[in-house]
Amino acid sequence: MDVLTNIVQYVLNLGASVFVPIIMLIIGICARMKFKDAISAAIIFGVAFAGMNLVVGFMLDSISPAAQAFAKNTGIALTAVDGGWTTGASITWAWPLAFLIFPITIGVNIVMLALKWTKTLNVDMWNVWGKAFTAIMVSYISGNVYLGFVVVVIQIIIELKIGDIWGKEIEELTGIPGVTVPHHMTIIASLLYPINQLMDKIPLFNKKMDADALKEKLGVFAENHVMGAIVGFLLGLVAGYGVSKSLILAVQAATALTLFPMVSKLFMQALSPISEAISEFMRKHFNNREILIGLDWPILAGRNELWVTAILLIPVELLFAVILPGNKVLPFGGIINLSIVVAVVLLARGNLLRMVVYGIITTPVFLYLATFFAPYMTRLAQETHAVKVPAGSMLTWSTMENGEFKFAFSEAMAGKWWGMLLAVVWIALFVYFYFGRKKENAKRYHEEAQTEGFES
């Protein structure tokens, strides 16, 4: 067990920008790429990953303090402290059994690929902590750690299946073929899918409203740098920054929104030759079977709709925090809600209006789930001593990824009838989304639909 723990820790210490390119190099060589081409693509991928993380970090470091200042200026006093995803990850990795999720994740993926139940090869090992977090919450609520691992297996299967769906959307949005994002934060899209179908019937929501369409309608005001400057300046003003500090934030936001698409092109440059090599290898040796490489969400960070939506939702989150009865959470550490915007940029295919609507209607859900899980996150922090929680306060995460799944299955595993009902409804909605979106994609991308079984 110590050996496995040391291996996992070594991998984590390498960092995603080193470890994932190594995996991509191995995949490229296995797909019969020339070594010089494989090593070049792998290094460029590492550069793209590190570059995108730098820009994302710069964006969050610029926006988050303003959003938090806005929150402080409201004068709201709530008892649950929002530590955001970083705090959630810290206390999760301190759980003694967290490392076991690595072999479970890899094992389930290998079995599903071997049985042709998925076409997603997930190499995103950094978000394993999200599955460990699920195991902890289920074990706390149900009182049975083994049931926590059962739910983790269910989550892994769901992630791989939704990864099978997102491949075409990601290629359309980023221009990168052969990749997907089997991240658990995107699973909420399956619950919003019926609303998406309803929007399909409303003319207002069918107008093209992505960044490119806005450029045609608004001209220079929809350019990345101008849009970033406007949004950044307005956020600075509502945060009480004053004109000079707001102008600095405007330039910072403009810088980030300008750099995102530039860095995204590096992903395309790195992944396109690897994707082509895999496709050729599968055509020759496996009857043209399609394989998608599962990566972390930053490959989508070049879509400015994602960031504009996240910023526009900040006042919405704070408003709901004030008016929702029973809410105990003031959005702070997790106030930039990546948990919803990444999912809906895929579901809405970049339609900004739909994305904002989804963000508004899900904000109360995020806050109530954060309130529900606060005692359990506090317990985890206290048991692991990873984070000190002030007396009289609780620790939580206002924009918890995949919280609705954790809630339904935790309550189900606790033996509550309504929890079991929620879990059944959740699975039914996911199956409905899976086959519905698969059929839509077959029509949209001129593929042959295969809806005769829950297979790829």
When pLDDT is averaged across residues 244-270 and rounded to a whole number, the result is 82
pTM value is 0.81
Q: What is the pLDDT of residues 165-206, one digit of tens each?
A: 999 999 999 888 889 999 999 999 999 999 999 999 999 888
Instruction: Print the domain residue range for 29.
Output: 2-444
Q: Kindly state the percentage of the chain with pLDDT values over 70.
A: 88
Residue 207 lies in a domain: yes
Lowest mean pLDDT of 34-43, 57-66, 102-111, 304-313, name the range. 57-66
Q: What is the 3-state secondary structure (H, E, C) of the chain?
A: CHHHHHHHHHHHHHCHHHHHHHHHHHHHHHCCCCHHHHHHHHHHHHHHHHHHHHHHHHHHHHHHHHHHHHHHHCCCCCCEEECHHHHHHHHHHCCCCHHHHHHHHHHHHHHHHHCCCCCEEECCCCCHHHHHHHHHHHHHHHCCHHHHHHHHHHHHHHHHHHHHHHHHHHHHHHCCCCEECCCHHHHHHHHHHHHHHHHHCCHHHHCCCCHHHHHHHHHHHHCHHHHHHHHHHHHHHHCCCCHHHHHHHHHHHHHHHHHHHHHHHHHHHHHHHHHHHHHHHHHHHCCCCCCEEECCHHHHCCCHHHHHHHHHHHHHHHHHHHHCCCCCEECCCCCCCHHHHHHHHHHCCCCHHHHHHHHHHHHHHHHHHHHHHHHHHHHHHHHHCCCCCCCCCEEECCCCCCHHHHHHHHHHHCCCHHHHHHHHHHHHHHHHHHHHHHHHHHHHCCCCCCCCCCCC
Q: What is the pLDDT of residues 147-164, one digit of tens each?
A: 999 999 999 999 999 999
Question: Residue 44: is its pLDDT beyond 80?
Answer: yes
When pLDDT is averaged across residues 59-88 and rounded to a whole number, the result is 77
Residue 108 lies in a domain: yes
Residue 451 lies in a domain: no
Residue 456 lies in a domain: no
Residue 452 lies in a domain: no
The pLDDT mean for the chain works out to: 85
Task: Name the domain count of the chain.
Answer: 1
Q: What is the pLDDT of residues 260-272, one digit of tens each?
A: 777 777 877 777 7
Residue 313 lies in a domain: yes
Q: What is the pLDDT of residues 331-374, one digit of tens each?
A: 877 888 989 999 999 999 999 999 999 999 999 999 999 999 99
Q: What is the pLDDT of residues 428-440, one digit of tens each?
A: 999 999 999 999 9
